[in-house]
Amino acid sequence: MEQKGARDMWIAKRAALQHGVISLTQLHDAGLSDTAISKRCRSGRLHRLHRGVYAVGHTAPSNERRWMAAVLTLGDGAVLSHRSAAALWELLPSTDGPVDISLPSRSGRRRRQGIRIHRPESLRPQETTRRNGIPVTSPARTLADLRYVVSEGALRRAIRQADFLGLPIGPDIEVDGTRSELERRFLWLCRRHHLPKPAVNMRIGGLTVDFCWVAQKLIVETDGYQAHRGRAAFEDDRDRDLKLRAVGLEVQHLSYRQVFEEPDEVIAVLKPLLVPELGGIPAVRAR
């Protein structure tokens, strides 16, 4: 009786570290036979969640329990990834859909209900870690994986949230620095059409310009109607343009409609202007 109590205590402590779930292997390690496990399932002390994974005591739903159970059922090397990892890192909201799991090997381990299995070409040890006790891809790897499964807008939100939380996202994940949907759309157009990468919201003297290609001495200002309507805004824009052109900088203005509805025309105008040239940007004095 004392041995049985000690086993149950070990199982309870182990499950507490794993958000209330435990694997078949761990139950065997505790000294339970398959018969004893089946008996506990019939009495309601264990609840089967996946093949080889059980909830201990109750099945109250939680994201952490779902995620941990999915990792455990797929065994050694399995880690939470993609959308599910983004939810665990609090980069995107959690969903009720399948749990995303990445495996280090491209063979073996069949599909499980409620789990979406990913088999990447490579998953290095340094690209995985633990959060709240759950094996998961690192923030940088999570963001890299998200590029293939979420929209451009969702990816931007995840990157910004990672930056806000101070998570280590690595040099290859860029926070785009934009301040509006119009700016984000224009930057997306540049990437899509393989234009040289501009500086975003760059300070030149006392002015801030939306996009700047330093070597090409080109500035693009994306003009949303709300921020640029009215006589005062019109005069301010002309004043800025004069200052910038006086020091040899070409200024192109693009409207919301042009960026969103006429992208091909926008790119056709910009491409000839983005031929690399020598030279930099002189200081511009604000009046």
Q: Minimal CA–CA distance to 120: which of 78, 167, 174?
A: 78
Least confident of 180-184, 203-207, 211-215, 228-232: 228-232
The tens digit of pLDDT for each residue in 220-255 reads 999 875 544 556 556 777 888 898 988 889 999 999
So what's the pLDDT on residue 281? Answer: 46
Least confident of 161-170, 196-205, 217-226, 231-240: 231-240
Between 59 and 70, name the one with better pLDDT. 70
The tens digit of pLDDT for each residue in 116-163 reads 999 988 889 999 999 999 999 999 999 989 988 888 778 888 888 888
Give the helix/strand (H/E) hosting 285: none
Strand order in the sheet with 53-56: 21-23, 53-56, 46-50
Length of the chain counted residue by residue: 287
Q: Minimal CA–CA distance to 149: which of 82, 101, 97?
A: 82
145 in Cβ contact with 88 (< 8 Å): no
Amino acid at position 33, single letter: S
So what's the pLDDT on residue 164? Answer: 81
DSSP SS3 for 271: helix
* CB contact set of 125 (below 8 Å; sequence gap of 6+): none
Between 34 and 284, name the one with better pLDDT. 34
Bridge partners of residue 220, in order along the sequence = 211, 252
C-alpha separations of 98 from 48, 55, 174 in Å = 17, 18, 28
Q: 173: which 2 tokens?
A: 């994940």
The tens digit of pLDDT for each residue in 13-40 reads 888 888 889 989 999 988 889 999 999 8
The tens digit of pLDDT for each residue in 38-63 reads 998 998 889 998 888 998 987 777 89
Bridge partners of residue 251, in order along the sequence = 219
Q: 244: which 2 tokens?
A: 């910038």
Computed on alpha carbons and rounded to an integer, the radius of gyration of the chain in Å comes to 27
Amino acid at position 139, single letter: P
pLDDT cut 70: percent of the chain above it? 86
Distance of CA 240 to the CA centre of its chain: 37
pLDDT-derived band at 180 (thresholds 50, 70, 90) equals confident
DSSP 174: P
